[in-house]
Structure 1
Amino acid sequence: MNGRWLGAMPVDAFLNKYIPATKKPLSDLPDNPFENVPRDGMESGLYDPFITAIQRWMPHLQAVNTSNKDDIANKLNLKTDISMYNRVEGVASPERTDFSRTELWMEFKAKKDGAAFQDPRDDTEEKRVLAIETGSFTPDTDKGNRARGQLAHYAGALHSQQFRHFSFSIFVQGDHARFLRWDPSGAVVTAAFNYRANPRLMAEFLWRFNHLSPEQRGHDVSVRPANLVPEVDARVREKLGIQDQNIPLYKYEVPGLAGLGYSYGPRPPTQNRSLVSRCTRTSPAVWIPTEVVDSGPRSCGEPEPPSEHNADQLSSQDGLKKGPWSEVRLVYMKDTWRFLSDLPDVDMRPEHEIYEILRHHKTPNIPELVVGGDVEGGRTRTQEFVDAPWLCVKPRISPYQHYRLLHGIVGRPLFKFECTKQLVAAVFDALKAHAHAVEHARILHRDISAGNIILTDEGKGLLIDWELAKLMSERGSRRPDRTGTWQFMSANLLWQPGKMHTVTDDLESFMHVLGWMTLRYVPACDSYNARRRGKDMALLFDDYDEGEECIVQGGREKRMALRGESYPSDTFEPRTPTPLRGLLKDLSFPFKSFYAMWPPTAEDRKKANVPTECLDRQLIKLRYDIEQYDQDIEDLQSPTWFINTMKTALNKKEWPTDDKADDKLPIAFPRAAPRQAQHKADELRQSQSVWEHATAVQSSSKRAASPTPGPTSKRHRGTPAASGIQS
């Protein structure tokens, strides 16, 4: 969240911008509405008196003291101090934290806890500039960091449990309060105001919020309860394999098919607890066409027919009379926030348009039926204030647009491979899709990961999630940070956040997909237990350093393993002999040269470039090493060598058929702890020549490295976390 707390916005400006005034104005306030809220004593003694004071301004909402009651409904070990829920006739409000139903939440801190935010004392340009330079608005103290982290954690939990475009919250510290607005770009924070001395601001906010529509409160109105008739509901659950009748179904609008039908399914699961991100959620769903009237399909704004789908419609294909979306079908739905760029001459194509280009060039091994579009009202607004006159932080904001996409094929995750040969064959299929896209469509995927390769029912691999793909004709950086999923990114990209993404980086990611899947799922001998797996995975794939200005770097352990030819692990031993381990050794071999500690210098080449009869043993070895180095670097410049190497391995007869993914392993393994900054200094010195070599390689391939990201850089996708596939 560093650089993503935009404040301090004047309170009146915040209210006028986000919380429209009501037709019925707020009535006169009591002289001192907060007189019964104690100034001293335990923080827990504030909640109930505060609720009593504010409840009069929220007739449609119920404020509940949830400070000691975790959200058990959603299995979250989190609790807000005060949660506010809609009053529904005949339905009791939750008595504890429930992020899936929360409309507004409040967090309290005592003044002695240390400032979470610190406004400039004087509202002058000089003081504001000083605050920007020193970062004083978000004090870098343990208590301040912890308090802001707590706020961000709650906001992320709320958005993970609801269909949201944005949300609001209130933060109270001592006698002062702030309003916050959250969206996937960050948080807008108001200046502090004394709610005792100026209670009208608190009352006005709550009164207006009470009268806001769901859309004005931030709800995504393109998703609604399914409300299917029982027969259809049962068929949808059957198709999706949902046995629990308590799991609610929802009706999703698909922008690219507005009015032609809807997809139905549960709320997609999410592993993402961070608000500031692409917030990607994926899930199978059932596509059901709408009825076709004489005048043609309805537009998105026209009213729906009076009756819902019936069972006959679901089991037949009598809807639309033509086209692939005329049939009820199982689909794969992706709901995400796609990155937008305000840079000139930058074309950020939506993912479905990338698929159109790929299909035009007959790219194999990708989903053929794809449709998608931007969700109305789903654009972030935090970025609107990066130049605001009241801003007293150095912003690091990325804008996003809510986006929804359907694949006409569901497939199954890569980790459900039936044998290691199928695993390798699926990655090989995806590699061929990547190679064709690079050679013919001139598109680079830039997010090769285990979650972006799926298996069809026939065991074929498909490369999906082209959201971050880029036309290779585009020069320079479209965005100020890394592109990819942390565990599978090249060591080069992890260490150099501003480096331009190349074909070599994607090829290394394919290798990391196999390496990660091997350590995570391939059945191993008894000595390679879950603890050993977790340690190896955390070290190799989750390794990271926290540097200055919150620039996160990693890849050290990947480089060390590749240099030492110990990739992915010297201790891993498969339970059943398989060529997979040998393949990983072969694939990793050229990277020993790429990440060489001392690549050949001009002096080395001059020494070795002498007539053969003049060579002694030392020069013979030097010439061999240089030739091997040059060959390795050449092999890493295109997918050809990777394809040939994998094809050779797949043609071997030694592949077992009974070494399917181990489903008895734990869901998550221990996390890797970040190393301190002083550990980075040695690595920087040791690896200086590595990056000089990398720059030379990029120059030889006519790809200039982009500059190191500046203050506008965004949180990288896939912040190091417990090992798991990130969508």
Structure 2
Amino acid sequence: MVSPQALHLGHLPPPLHFVRGSHCLLCLRDPYRSLHARAEQGPKSIAGEHQRLSQYRAAAAEDMAHKAIRLEVDEFIDHFFKSRVPPQAFGTPPTQDSDVFDCLAEMKDMKEEDVSRLFVDVVNRLQLAPGLRMSQSEHKPDVCDATQERVDSAFFRSEFCPSDGRPHWADQIVAVEFKRHDTRNDPYTDSEAGTVDADAETRRKVRSQLISYAEKLFEYQHRTALYMFIVIGRTFRITRWDRSGTLVTRRMDYVCNPQVLCDVLWYMSQMTNEALGFDPSAKRVLRGSAYYTMMNKASFNDISDIDHTECVLEKLPEDGCVYKYVREMFRESLQRNWPRYLLEVPTKDGTRSFLVAKPVFQAPGMAGRGTRGYVALDLKTGRFVWLKDAWRAHYELVDQEGSVLETLNRAGVANLPTLICHGDILGQVTETPKWWELKNPRSDSSSPSQPLPLNATQSIANSSGAAPGSSKIGSSMKAKRSASDMERVDYREDCPLRRHKHYRLVVEEVGMELKKFKRGRQLMKVIYDCVVAHRDAVNKTDIMHRDVSGGNILIFPRPVNDPSLGSMHMMRWGGLLVDWELSKPITQQGVSPQARQPERTGTLQFMSVAMLTENSKVVEIADELESFFHVILYNAVRYLASNCTNAGAFIEDFFDTYKEEDGQLFCGDRKETAIKEKGRIILPSNIPLRFNPPIDGFMDTVLKWFKARYTVYTYRTHQLEGHAERSGPSNPVVVPSEESEPATQLWDTSLCDAGASSDPDIDPFLDMEPEELQPAKPTDQEEKIAALVDTHAAFLKRLSMAITAAGWKNDGVKGDNVPPSYKPRRRVGPLRHAGIATVKRRRTGLHTWSPPSDDWEDGLATPTPSRIHTAVI
């Protein structure tokens, strides 16, 4: 392990000698934004990214809709404050005078900033929260904050309390937002009927503002939960935020009942950072410390750093050298005003420590995985690695991504990241879903799970028992990995809140964003490598990726031996297929797939037409191959020369547009027509989309395959649905092996007559559709063509033909074909978590998908294709 003491004394060797690795995995979901991308610039489609903060907040509010749970004030205080004050805390809350807040009694004409100023003055002057101080920040944003957001005030530890009137997001303990004394400014309602979220537009705007502040704090800090006060004139609410949702107290008048608020502030001041929601496995690295200096020195360029561009190599790079782009990414993460951390990750025999600064990737939104990706410095080896921090889905039989990756690595699957270590962090789980269960008891006795008692929920939150800065994480993470690889965690199927568990993963390789490709041929090579990885994962381990998207395909430079160069080598850009957290074992014949979590996720823009139109469909190889096709199409339209004169509009129509009914999403017309019906992509000018001959040949061919697939698929689905209505459920679809014959056994059409009733008085075909509405039976030729996408072989062969074909002249990237000024023409889309309805339901309305921007980052970069959740089978 590199010694920080050696650094402090000036004895550290040059960076070359300790930063020996060139590898780290860049697990971006969005290959279409710059490395400087930020996650707060507004909701974005993948066609247009320059959206306003107000739009982002509106989408974020939809994303958090119905995820707030109301608690009584006493209930909240007893559970989250009073019970979490450490035993060594001195005394009890002092009794305050009944007129302590009388200066705030008359609110009728008082402005918001006046409320803030008077409230802060009372708290600080009377030391109502000893050891903490409030600081106002409603007028000036943080220097490094591109969104210029300003929460009104916050509590800080006294020694870190700022005096410059800025938010200082990295140092806040508890945020406080002030509003004028008006119900229109209250984001929540105390009505017993319906949702806790207030519906009025002005109230929804306030709630979206709070969500953006909570998200900002989770972005800057490493937290398990966040507490925030909402002061509305002479009343207040306390909120608690985690990755599942929000807990909200009833509104209380603190002028009439000052002791309640004063007690809360006193309890808060006595609580440890961990009890206030800080993650004890993440330790701040302060300016001037040895680790801070180590990070600075590791960012310095070294003469031995390797140029990663494709070129002829006179000699192979030495082991341990660093690619230039890797060190550059690490250096760019060391922004002056961004906090640095030492993160601990479980290993088989303890923990391993890594130094990180600003994440290269930050998923947006409060509810969800909250994935962050870092170029990290490994303290054990001195190498750069990629560290992924996320709140994974916490349900029965849901594998850890690292366990899946370990299986794939062991099986020798090529073109994947190499696992270093991974594990759950201190048993940290989201608590909000259990509170939903407590507040919504089931009437029947057959519930798969019973709500935890309050003390059990509390014990989960405090399971580590470690104070901030302690090293207890080592002993807490020594349990065998297999114990948590496939957990049995009961859940309420009717609970609308997803359960999450804190998790970290570290791998060796550093990938570049897919948009960094330089030529069309290079793009096809990268995709080829990832299809090979997908094929080998299926053939060698029976694991299906289930989230093929542009963000999960990365470029990785590799020195290779080129026979045409004799003894010399070539630096070649290959592909990495990453992000296996949504992968799943392939369904075996005769075995019904088990539900592993209440929803299934995928990246909407790259999902197959079939997956977007059928709620319960099992992901098949053909669906994944179609997703690979969509990745090629998107990048070709966006970055290569073509006859498409408006790339932004094309991407919006084909990738971002969907149909919606009752909050359910369906495939958009443009995509469905091209893939399912025509087998051609036609531009608005009524001419086929064209690039260069190799790409055109590939697309024309595989589009015919997909069209044939949907002809067969539609007919067989119709046949099976008719049989199911008469005789019950049929056997599940089975993914064929690469060696099997084309999948005629996938669909047993003879079953269609098996369930007919023998009763002569009942017509088993009474509910059949008119003959003209029934899909035509596929021809033998269509059956044969459709079978080509049942395995990877034909798709890979056609990719290879395109790569080796003539006609690749002038295939270089000319820049981004979507201008910075492009704005989506349709309204901002619905919440990320909208489901997909069944294929039979009527689809109405045309909208543009626009998530609360980036799985979505910056205002000057490209947005992220977002995941949606659908029913799990």
Per the TM superposition, whether the score is higher than 0.5 is: yes
- Structure 2 vs 1, CA of residues 94 and 546 (structure 1 numbering), >3 Å: closer, same or farther? farther
The structural deviation recorded for 1:36 is 0.8
What are the superposed Cα offsets for residues 314-361 of structure 1, whole Å, 9 maximum, x if unpaired?
xxxxxxxxxxxxx432211111111111xxxx4111111101221333
Aligned counterpart in structure 1 of residue 107 of structure 2, from 39, 45, 48: 39
Match of 1:398 among 468, 492, 498: 498
Report if aligned partners of 1:564, 1:592 keep a CA contact under 8 Å in 2. Answer: yes
Shift of 1:29: 0.7
1:372 matched to 2:441: no
The residue matched to 1:635 in structure 2 has which SS? Answer: helix
Residue 39 to residue 258, structure 1, CA distance change in 2 (3 Å): farther
Corresponding residue of 1:210: 269
Measured after TM superposition, the shift of residue 372 of structure 1 is 0.9
Is the counterpart of residue 484 in structure 1 residue 484 in structure 2? no
The answer for the alignment partner of 1:442 in structure 2 is 542
Distance 2:829 2:222 in 1: 38
Kept in 2: contact 1:181–1:187 (CA 8 A): yes
Q: Which residue of 2 aligns with 1:360?
A: 410
1:337 corresponds to which residue? 391
Q: Distance in 2 between matches of 1:26 and 1:482?
A: 47
Question: Which runs of 5 or more residues in structure 1 are unaligned?
Answer: 121-127, 290-326, 607-621, 678-682, 692-713
Shift of 1:636: 3.3
SS at match of 2:599: coil
Q: Tell me the distance in 2 between the aligned counterparts of 1:574 and 1:492.
A: 23
- Separation of aligned partners in 1, 2:177 and 2:614: 38
Counterpart among 631, 637, 643 of residue 784 in structure 2: 631
Q: CA deviation at 1:420?
A: 1.4
- One-letter code of the match for 2:422? G
Q: Does 1:461 align with 2:575?
A: yes
Work out the CA distance in 2 between the residues paired with 1:418 and 1:719: 23
Tell me the distance in 1 between the aligned counterparts of 2:440 and 2:419.
48
Q: 1:91-147 deviations in whole A, cap 9, x for unaligned?
A: 734402333332222233442416532224xxxxxxx5xx2xxx2432433233323
Map 1:645-724; keep pairs closer than 5 Å. 645-656=798-809, 659-660=812-813, 662=815, 670-671=823-824, 673-674=826-827, 688=840, 723-724=863-864
Q: What does residue 23 of structure 1 align with? A: 90
The correspondence for 2:379, drawn from 288, 298, 310, is 288
Q: Give RMSD over aligned pairs.
A: 3.9
Alignment of 1:37-186 (within 5 A): 37=104, 38-41=106-109, 42-55=111-124, 56-88=127-159, 92-109=162-179, 110-113=181-184, 115-120=186-191, 131=193, 135-186=194-245
- Cα distance, 1:162 vs. partner? 1.7
Aligned residue among 204, 217, 228 for 2:290: 228
Q: Does 1:252 align with 2:311?
A: no
Q: Distance in 1 between matches of 2:821 and 2:678?
A: 28
Shift of 1:570: 6.7
Contact 1:177 1:193 in 2 (8 A): yes
Q: Deviations over 1:250-278 (max 9, x none)?
A: 32212226656422232213443301111
Q: Assess if the C-alpha contact under 8 Å between 1:420 and 1:656 holds in 2.
A: no
**Kept after mapping to 2: 8 A contact 1:483/1:716:** no
Deviations 1:221-260 (A, max 9, x none): 3222443368733432136221667365432212226656
Given the superposition, is the C-alpha separation of residues 283 and 230 from structure 1 closer, same or farther in structure 2, using an over 3 Å criterion? closer
Specify whether residues 480 and 590 from structure 1 end up closer, same or farther in structure 2 by C-alpha distance, changes over 3 A only: farther
Matched to 1:46, the amino acid is V
467-476 or 32-41: which moved more?
467-476
Give the one of 357, 368, 385 matched to 1:266: 357
Question: In 2, are the aligned partners of 1:9 and 1:391 still within 8 Å (CA)?
Answer: no
Alignment match, 1:708: none
Following superposition, the deviation at residue 536 of structure 1 comes to 1.7
1:630, distance to aligned residue in structure 2 (A):
2.6
User: 1:637, 1:668 → 2: CA distance?
Assistant: 41
Would you say 1:507 and 2:621 are equivalent positions? no
The 8 Å contact of residues 486 and 718 in structure 1, kept in 2 or not, is answered as no
Say whether 1:189 aligns with 2:248.
yes
Task: Pick 1 or 2: higher relative contact order, CA cutoff 8 A, min separation 6.
Answer: 2
User: Is the CA contact 2:530–2:553 (under 8 Å) kept in the aligned structure 1?
Assistant: yes
One of 589, 592, 603 as aligned partner of 2:707: 592
> What TM-score do you get using the length of structure 2 for normalisation?
0.64
Partner Cα distance (2:667, 2:258) in 1: 49
> Hey, what's the Cα distance between the residues in 2 that align with 1:264 and 1:411?
19
The answer to whether the Cα contact below 8 Å between 2:640 and 2:811 also exists between their aligned partners in 1 is no
Partners of 1:493 and 1:144 in 2: CA distance: 36
In 2, Cα distance between equivalents of 1:500 and 1:353: 22
* Contact in 2 for aligned 1:443/1:472 (Cα 8 Å): yes
Alignment deviations for residues 407-432 of structure 1 (CA, whole Å, 9 cap, x no partner): 11113222211321121111111111
Matching residue of 1:198 = 257
Tell me if 1:559 matches 2:627: no
**1:661–1:453: structure 2 CA closer, same or farther, 3 Å change rule?**
farther
Deviation at 1:400, TM superposition (A): 0.8
| C-alpha separation in 1, matches of 2:688 and 2:296 | 46
User: Offset of 1:715 from its aligned partner?
Assistant: 11
Q: State how far apart, in whole Å, the 1-side matches of 2:682 and 2:366 are.
A: 32
Instruction: Please give the alpha-carbon distance, in whole angstroms, between the structure 1 residues aligned to 2:852 and 2:599.
Output: 7
Paired with 1:723 and 1:189, the residues of 2 have a C-alpha distance of 32
After superposition, give the CA deviation of every residue in 1:593-650 in whole Å (9 maximum; x if it has no partner).
45569955889x99xxxxxxxxxxxxxxx99963344334433333233223222222
Distance (Å, rounded) in 1 between the aligned partners of 2:429 and 2:276: 14
1:284-323 Cα shifts (integer Å, max 9, x gaps): 222221xxxxxxxxxxxxxxxxxxxxxxxxxxxxxxxxxx
Structure 2 contact 360–375 (Cα < 8 Å) conserved: no
> What residue ranges of structure 2 are gaps of 5+ in the alignment?
1-62, 301-321, 443-491, 559-572, 723-748, 751-774, 831-835, 844-850, 868-873
Tell me how far 1:688 sits from its aligned partner: 4.0
Q: 1:663 deviation in Å?
A: 6.2
Quote the Cα distance in structure 2 between the aligned partners of 1:245 and 1:119. 43
Q: Structure 1 residue 397: deviation in Å?
A: 0.6
AA aligned to 2:209 is Q
1:328 is aligned to 2:382: yes
Q: Go from structure 1 to structure 2 and tell me whether the alpha carbon gap of 1:466 and 1:245 turns closer, same or farther (over 3 Å shift).
A: closer
Work out the CA distance in 2 between the residues paired with 1:339 and 1:406. 18
Cα separation, partners in 2 of 1:101 and 1:4, compared to 1, 3 Å: farther
CA shift in 2, pair 1:176/1:461, >3 Å: same
| TM alignment of 1:515-530, pairs within 5 A | 515-524=633-642, 528=645
Question: CA contact under 8 A between 2:613 and 2:837: conserved in structure 1?
Answer: no
TM-score, length-scaled by structure 1: 0.77
Check 1:675–1:12 CA distance in 2 against 1; reply closer, same or farther (3 A cut). closer
Question: Which SS does the other structure have where 1:150 is aligned?
Answer: helix
**Are residues 419 and 598 of structure 1, via their aligned partners in 2, closer, same or farther at CA, if it must alter by over 3 Å?**
closer
Cα distance, 1:518 vs structure 2: 1.5
Residue equivalent to 1:709: none
Aligned counterparts of 1:94 and 1:489: Cα–Cα separation in 2: 48
Amino acid at match of 2:812: D
SS of match in other structure, 2:170: coil
Aligned amino acid, residue 108 of structure 2: D
